Amino acid sequence: MEAANGVVSKKIEALERENAAKKDEIRRLKKEIDSLRREAAELRDSETSAALKNLLEERERTVTFLERETESLKQLKAESEMKVRDLERKLSVVEVRESEERSKRVRAEEETKEKVGEKEREIEEMRQRIEDLEKVRVVEMREKGERVDGEWTKWLGIVWPVVATGSGAVAAVFYLCFRKRSR
């Protein structure tokens, strides 16, 4: 029995050694698993960190881009405001010129109307003088005993309207030409 006990005790010892070896291996594997879990967690953390870092860098680039765009837009706005002020200044200059031109045109029209009025008065005076000359000539011819010819009075009757019409036409042409130039 002792031999059987010896064999059993050897088997128990072998099993205990094997059990101890297995326990050591289990401990070692547990440590390795823990180590791998920590590495995996660190890896996840580093991946998350890398993703966050990439996201942060992207946002910083976006902010930088937007800041440059803002500066560019501010500069464009300032340039646009300068152009607007320049155009407003030019517009006011043009409005002043137009106002001056209008007043010149109005003055020219008034002067032309005055000249036309003067010419009409001159025409009326000429008509009156022609009629007076006609009457004087007829009276002179009668005093001399000459025959008063109907053609003479006819001719005088034709001449003064022609003179009046010619003077009026000259005044009207002058008015129209001067008016076109003033515009």
* pLDDT at position 139: 79
H-assigned helices in the chain = 2-144, 150-182
**Which pair of tokens denotes residue 148?**
């008063």
* pLDDT at position 104: 92
* pLDDT at position 46: 75
* pLDDT at position 182: 55
Dist. CA 100–CA 92, nearest whole Å: 12
- Crossing angle for the helix pair 150-182 and 2-144, nearest 10 degrees? 160
Dist. CA 68–CA 19, nearest whole Å: 71
Rg of the Cα atoms in the chain? 62
- Global pTM reads 0.40
For the chain (183 residues), the mean pLDDT of every run of 10, in chain order, is: 68 80 86 83 76 84 90 89 92 94 91 88 87 81 68 51 61 66 55
Q: Which is nearest to 148 in space by CA: 135, 158, 162?
A: 135
Burial readout 11-32 (b: 16 or more C-beta within 10 A, e: otherwise) = eeeeeeeeeeeeeeeeeeeeee
